[in-house]
Amino acid sequence: MSGQQISAQKLGKELKLPRAVGKGRQVDPKALSEVQALLGDESRQKDLLIEHLHKIQDFYHYISAPHLVALAHEMKLSRAEVYEVATFYHHFDVIKEDQTPPPPLTVRVCDSMTCEMLGAEELIHSLEQGLGQDVRVQRVPCIGRCDKAPVAVVGMNPVEHADAAQVIEFVDKKQVQPEKIDPILFESYIEQGGYNTYRLCMEGQFEVEKVLDVMDDSGLRGLGGAGFPVGRKWRIVRDQPAPKLMAVNIDEGEPGTFKDKYYLDRDPHCFLEGTLIAAWAVGIEEVYIYLRDEYAAIREMLEVEMAKLQANPPVANMPKLHLRRGAGAYICGEESAMIESIEGKRGMPRLRPPFVAQVGLFGRPTLEHNMESLYWVRDILEKGASCMTDHGRHGRTGLRSFSVSGRVNKPGVHLAPAGITMRELIDEYCDGMLDGHEFYGYFPGGASGGILPASMGDIPLDFDTLNDHGCFIGSAAVVVFSDKDQARELAVNAMKFFEDESCGQCTPCRVGTAKAVNLMQEKQWDQDLLEELSQVMVDASICGLGQAAPNPLRCVIKYFPEELK
């Protein structure tokens, strides 16, 4: 080799000359053009990554490797980041080069607790036999229609009280778009005096301190499960430095929960007005509404109604409202995981402190609320705190929206006094048990809220009343089961759900739920080992998913020992 060649070689090493072709997969021009067409003129900002992934999934019914690379290039993100976000969420079908894309149509069948009780397994088997190769049948967790179980979703169109023939008919007729809902629309809401209370707040007719006092007096608490007093939360965030944001959680993925859907189906602007009042009281500049992806019809409706509201604001300087779409991850019901998802990331809970009230969405102080908590704000200001405090039973005060499903004659959302007992709820609001079914037990707070036997059906249902029994009311998702069911099988169903929905960030939850499922499927439960495993999950899991996952299995051991013999 000549001296000149050696010098050139050394120079190349020193300068680290770029490769003629970059590392990894190259951007495919066709895929890039397709992604650019889908995104149009919309911003490429990082926090819209999940929104843009939805566009590809909706149009092509899956997300190919070339489309992922093209999206990363278009948004100026690393390919690894786009890939890890896309593969984190259940509703994105990420297909590698050596994989076959899924069929163009997917039929999703819920196999969570209530649907399993009411025939989901038989429905899934019949559909797998009765549908052709061009339709995929997919098991999915709770989709928020437990009162209409079993439920299938054809494309985006839910089929309630589904049987195989009905679902196949939907497929044959290509009824795949979201169903139509009939809420109070913006025009009607305005005609009925809607947004007048918010306008009075903005015009100074209400004093912030007096509003905060009314919220305190009403006893309104966070209705997403945690039960933190609303007035106190507003004061905490109000005292934080500007600019401040709000994040509204409508990702009610807890099996058995559908109350937020119930109210949004009927009166979305009542919720939006409550949101704006909260924003005024706390000093919020922008509001991000996080809606679970299963509520496709509500999403389409909210997009239209929020556009009407922002085009015709009741006052000047109204906060900007953003609607963000979840992607099928129960963990995003946890407030910090939801915030991560809104920011375009994997929905993994944050370690605290700092709390989201101090460092939340985009690093700003953030008021986080469940949708139903905001739904009652307008009524409390217009009617006074007594509209809540005049109700209650057995020493408790207020109203609770119970999502009731299972073996009752009248499942659905029942607005009942706080402190009502399970037997009273069944008899007075649900028209009793189904014929041929005897009340045997219940989940008072969804899959994570534990399980109690019928013999404990006279305990008042409210925040804090169930703690001594290893249970909690949470979001008031009540699942009633009968002597035709087994508590241990329902507990296995719940634990499988937690295993599937664990974000994987912490070992106690990720490994603990998987090991618990295996142990619980044994004919003879190793109760000592299960208890040891449960304690580790409770003590060491980062967030409430792992901490609450053992509740059902512990309750079976404690209250249903006859099933373990």
CATH number of 42's domain: 1.10.10
Do the Cβ atoms of 350 and 336 come closer than 8 Å? yes
CA dihedral for 119, 125, 130, 132, sign (positive or negative): positive
Verify that 381 and 414 share a domain, yes or no: no
For residue 547, pLDDT beyond 80:
yes
Segment 452-473, tens digit of pLDDT: 999 999 999 999 999 999 999 9
Q: Which residue has the tokens 């918010």?
A: 198
- Residue 6 placed within a domain: no
Give percent above pLDDT 90 in the chain: 94
- Residue 400 placed within a domain: yes
Segment 292-316 mean pLDDT: 97
At which of 55, 76, 95 does a domain end?
95
Verify that 202 and 133 share a domain, yes or no: no
- Residue 466 placed within a domain: yes
Measured CA to CA, the distance from residue 420 to residue 417 in angstroms comes to: 6
**How deeply is 433 buried, as exposed, middle or buried, from its count of CB atoms within 10 A (0-12, 13-18, 19+)?**
buried
CATH number of 500's domain: 1.20.1440.230
Verify that 416 and 522 share a domain, yes or no: no
Q: What integer pLDDT is reported at residue 246 of this predicted model?
A: 98
Do the Cβ atoms of 466 and 427 come closer than 8 Å? no
- For residue 312, CA distances in Å to 264, 305, 533 come to 21, 11, 56
Q: What integer pLDDT is reported at residue 181 of this predicted model?
A: 96
Verify that 323 and 200 share a domain, yes or no: yes
Verify that 268 and 240 share a domain, yes or no: yes
Assign 333 to helix, strand or coil: helix
Give the ranges where 89-185 is alpha helix by DSSP (H).
113-117, 120-130, 164-172
For residue 10, pLDDT beyond 90:
no
Residues 6 or more apart from 66 whose CB is under 8 A from it?
A: 25, 28, 30, 31
Verify that 560 and 508 share a domain, yes or no: yes
How confident is residue 62, by pLDDT bands cut at 50, 70 and 90? very high
Do the Cβ atoms of 550 and 536 come closer than 8 Å? no
**How deeply is 246 buried, as exposed, middle or buried, from its count of CB atoms within 10 A (0-12, 13-18, 19+)?**
buried
How confident is residue 491, by pLDDT bands cut at 50, 70 and 90? very high
For residue 2, pLDDT beyond 90:
no
Q: Which residue has the tokens 């409210």?
A: 462
For residue 17, pLDDT beyond 70:
no
- Residue 24 placed within a domain: no
Segment 244-271, tens digit of pLDDT: 999 999 999 999 999 999 999 999 999 9
Q: What integer pLDDT is reported at residue 132 of this predicted model?
A: 87
Q: What integer pLDDT is reported at residue 7 of this predicted model?
A: 57
Verify that 297 and 407 share a domain, yes or no: no
CA dihedral 200, 319, 271, 268 (to 10 degrees): 110
Q: What integer pLDDT is reported at residue 13 of this predicted model?
A: 55
Total domain count for the chain?
5
Verify that 365 and 397 share a domain, yes or no: no
More confident site: 3 or 433: 433
How confident is residue 97, by pLDDT bands cut at 50, 70 and 90? confident
User: Which of 7-16, 17-26, 244-253 has the lowest average pLDDT?
Assistant: 7-16
For residue 423, pLDDT beyond 70:
yes
Segment 213-220 mean pLDDT: 97
- Residue 294 placed within a domain: yes
How confident is residue 22, by pLDDT bands cut at 50, 70 and 90? low
For residue 6, pLDDT beyond 90:
no
Give the ranges where 203-250 is alpha helix by DSSP (H).
208-218, 230-238
How confident is residue 16, by pLDDT bands cut at 50, 70 and 90? low
How confident is residue 226, by pLDDT bands cut at 50, 70 and 90? confident
Closest CA to 503 of 544, 475, 531, 474: 544
For residue 5, pLDDT beyond 70:
no
Q: What integer pLDDT is reported at residue 177 of this predicted model?
A: 96
For residue 126, pLDDT beyond 70:
yes
How confident is residue 240, by pLDDT bands cut at 50, 70 and 90? very high
- Residue 180 placed within a domain: no
CATH number of 129's domain: 3.40.30.10
Assign 26 to helix, strand or coil: coil
Segment 526-530 mean pLDDT: 97
Q: What integer pLDDT is reported at residue 116 of this predicted model?
A: 97
Verify that 209 and 292 share a domain, yes or no: yes
Do the Cβ atoms of 147 and 401 come closer than 8 Å? no
Q: What integer pLDDT is reported at residue 394 of this predicted model?
A: 97
Segment 351-358 mean pLDDT: 95
Range of the domain at 84: 29-95
What number of CA atoms fall less than 13 Å from residue 241's CA on the CB side?
3
Mean pLDDT of the chain: 95
- Residue 146 placed within a domain: yes
Verify that 259 and 379 share a domain, yes or no: yes
Segment 349-368 mean pLDDT: 97
Measured CA to CA, the distance from residue 440 to residue 483 in angstroms comes to: 5
Measured CA to CA, the distance from residue 319 to residue 35 in angstroms comes to: 31
Count CB atoms within 10 A of the CB of residue 237: 23
- Residue 7 placed within a domain: no
Segment 364-410, tens digit of pLDDT: 999 999 999 999 999 999 999 999 999 999 999 999 999 999 999 99
Q: What integer pLDDT is reported at residue 1 of this predicted model?
A: 52
At which of 350, 385, 420 does a domain end?
385
At which of 63, 95, 127 does a domain end?
95
For residue 11, pLDDT beyond 60:
no
Verify that 301 and 230 share a domain, yes or no: yes
How confident is residue 517, by pLDDT bands cut at 50, 70 and 90? very high
For residue 19, pLDDT beyond 60:
no
Measured CA to CA, the distance from residue 233 to residue 242 in angstroms comes to: 16
Verify that 137 and 215 share a domain, yes or no: no
